[in-house]
A and B are shown apart, each in its own frame.
Chain A
Amino acid sequence: MGTTSARPGPDGGLGRRDLIKRSAAIGLISVPAMGLLTSCASGSGGGTEKVEKGKVSKDNPLGVNESAQLEVVIFDGGFGQQYAIDAEKKYNEKFPKAPKVKHSATQKIQSTLQPKFNGGTPPDLIDNSGAEQMDMGVLVGKKQLLDLTPLMDAPSVDDPNKKVRDTLRPGVLEMGQFDGDPVWIMYYAYTVYGVWYSKTALEKLDAEYPETWDQMLALCEKAKKQGIAGWTYPGKFPYYLPFSLYPFIAKIGGREVLDAIDNLEPNAWKHPAVKAAFEAYYELQQKGYVLKGTPGMTHIQSQTAWTKGKALFIPNGSWVENEAAATTPKDFEMAVAAPTGLDSSDKLPFGTIWASGGEPFIVPAKAKNPEGGMEQLRLMLSEASSKNFTQQVKSLTAFNGGTDGLSLSSALQAGVDALEKAGENVVNPRLQDWYVKLQKEQIGVAGLGEMMAGRATPAETIKKIQGYADAAAKDPNIKHYKHQ
């Protein structure tokens, strides 16, 4: 050691001094780089400046700046992104002076956008959906979202005398509210939850969809004799069970039972209606009407067992038609029905169903062109755009109507019929968007999952869930909401 020459090598290579100098230089560079990294997390969040607002007119009720760029990020999931691209084309047709809408689609909403929110440079419109959905409660609580009330009060595209808010399906607008009047989220898709079945399978058993629990048990017994299970569900994600269980509870005890549960009121889960519903589901398990192995299955595995005819019923949402398309036989005749009730003493009539918005669109408070973001939503809520969406992805939209003249698949038609039958009796439990952890991990996996696997009784499960709900109500780290 110590004999290395200080001269540059014969080939003009790097000398020792040069190396030291350069290393030092890199060291110097890395200091501001560190500063950059920190600012990612805790920067001032000043963000970029907003574009100037345009002139409000009859054609431009939101006052969009006609030459400003619009940036949209779409969740590229089950619904794809083509519907959004089509709608963006309409935006550019309407505002020819604006540059082409900057469109991107990703499944990684959170990893892509969280740094932009932290840095104060979010896009103008986001479809905040999928497994990497950003927590809405936190976004609202931290004032990161724009109030969409101007959009709701703007005239609709199809009928200038009708406000956008009056063209929406029931419950959609309320879902976008968290506390008080501001509307933070515009749910674009409309999902029907319930009990999904194959009309063909029921016909083979010479049965109708059961309306009371006695009929349900009789049908399951009949199926069992032929080696078919009554029910299956995604055992690995037991939070699918509430899709039929919650409206079942509402049907037995009325809407206010679910409201009390959502509001995390003390002893909300100890209501007799909850007990009756839990006991009914537990009976399915105890009598062996649940497909063997269900507690270990994913949603895909259980759906596949169901489309293969191994089980009659599965609690699910309207996306199942698309998701299970590959394994669904041609003559399956997929349909959805409202949950079977207990008996004639139930408070609400048969048909009570859970339906709510999906694909939550948000406009960030710090967006450069927020009016553009809202205008894009207004265009998407036109009848033509809504029809385009329904046709492309086999799902309803928040736009009330928009199915006339379309030829609907069996499952989609069943959803429309179920909504019609439900009429006023559409319930919209909010646990799954207000308290994600409580709904999925605690009520779903630790509560219902254990009960439906036969490892806990309904009484134990109710006690456990009430404990979780009480803890969530007391937890200062969770933002709390109430039904208005």
Chain B
Amino acid sequence: MQHGKYRFIAGFLVLPLGLYVLFVVWPFIQSIYYSFTDWTGLSPDFRMIGVDNYTRMLDDAVFWKSLQHSLLLVLVLPLVTLGLALFFAFMINVGGRRRNAVVAGVRGSAFYKIAYFFPQVLSIAIVALLFQFAFNPDDGLINATLEAVGLDSVQPDWLGDPGLALPVVMMVLIWSTVGFFVVLFSAGMASIPKEIYEAALLDGAGRATTFFRVTLPLLWDTVQSGWVYMGILALGAESFAVVQIMTVGPGGPDYSTTVLPLYVYQAAFRDGQAAYATTIGVALLVVTLAFAAIVMRLGRRERLEF
């Protein structure tokens, strides 16, 4: 039977691998190829121009700005989102102190779980639109609330202010994704044996100690995949959608919110420079791969069996 084993395994892998190559690897190869051409995206004729697109990209101030913002998103979003999600999940599942149960969530945790998850059922486009209304400086929810509590003098332009626009974009992304990770981490925490918590409590561990010494190490795998997922989101479609829908221009004011996926889109579909867009896309690919490699490297730890 041995000699047929590899053929057997290959038989199962042909289809998924074929699909993967066709729909994932091949487009990548194609776009790398197009990044060496002057293809406009509007007509089938183009010619090879060598590395012109790459030298142009390295001189392009807007590219560097987009890269800078994308890197900022990739650092800040996972950190804040996962941090918040871990905190909420811990409080919902473990953080409470009740008489009849040793390990339980805070009061009303069932309600919070649903409340946190709720944004996840809305599409990101709708979330961005809703926040666009909320951040309307004239009569949006947020400035109206500020006014109602007597802060008439504090009426920022929000998305119209270069200093606030990117933080607002990040806030919307965090708001819309934190619930998913609360649910994910809750599921992870539920699989941690209660005895470990009980032992920790008997030894007199407080909430903070329990979290850092018990919950976090046992949840590390989940956190790590959450980190990768969040990074992809920060570099990919979600950040594009929020910036495209909400911001000035979009990408403004004065390039303060432009991100790599937005710049790819604008080059391809506004400027008719599809080849240059694929060049920026290649840069985005490099950033994404580097991010995944770093996370995998940093996150490597001994796995605890329980």
Contact = CB atoms under 8 A, between A and B. Distances in A.
B11 A20 contact: yes
Contacts of A142: 40, 42-43, 45
Interface in A9-45: 16, 19-20, 23-24, 26-27, 30, 33-34, 37-38, 41-45
A449 B253 contact: yes
A118 interface: yes
A437 interface: yes
B137 A445 contact: no
A86 interface: no
Contacts of B273: 477
A201 interface: no
A360 interface: no
B252 A449 contact: yes
**What 3 A-B pairs have minimum CB-CB distances, sorted nearest first?**
A293-B137, A296-B160, A295-B160
A44 to B, nearest CB: 7
Contact of B14 (A24, A37, A43, A446): A24
Given A2-B5, A135-B271, 7 more contacts: A4-B8, A30-B18, A119-B44, A446-B254, A446-B255, A453-B160, A477-B276
B137 A449 contact: no
Contacts, number: 177
A1 interface: yes
A282 to B, nearest CB: 16
A341 interface: no
Interface centre among A132, A292, A305, A445 (most CB of B within 10 A): A445
Interface in A120-150: 120, 132, 134-135, 137-139, 141-144
Contacts of A294: 137-138, 160
27 contacts: A1-B5, A4-B8, A23-B12, A23-B18, A26-B15, A27-B18, A34-B26, A114-B41, A135-B271, A137-B272, A138-B43, A142-B45, A235-B157, A236-B159, A294-B138, A294-B160, A296-B135, A296-B248, A297-B160, A436-B271, A445-B252, A446-B255, A450-B254, A453-B161, A455-B254, A477-B56, A477-B273
Interface residues of chain B: helix, strand, loop or mixed (majority): loop
A461 to B, nearest CB: 11
B167 interface: no
Contacts of B158: 296
A208 B135 CA distance: 35
B269 interface: yes
A285 interface: no
Contacts of A292: 137-138, 155
A81 interface: no
A45 B1 contact: no
A291 interface: yes
Contact of B42 (A134, A436, A440, A453): A134
B162 interface: yes
B136 A117 contact: no
B43 A16 contact: no
A34 B160 contact: no
A30 B19 CA distance: 8
A contact residues, range? 35 or more
B138 A23 contact: no
A280 B123 CA distance: 44
B251 interface: yes
Interface string B156-200: 011111100000000000000000000000000000000000000
A236 B245 CA distance: 11
Contacts of B251: 441, 445
Nearest to B42: A138
B249 interface: yes
B291 to A, nearest CB: 28
B253 A450 contact: yes
A298 interface: yes
Interface in B1-25: 1-2, 5, 7-8, 10-12, 14-15, 18-19, 21-22
A430 interface: no
A296 B137 contact: yes
Interface string B83-100: 000000000000000000
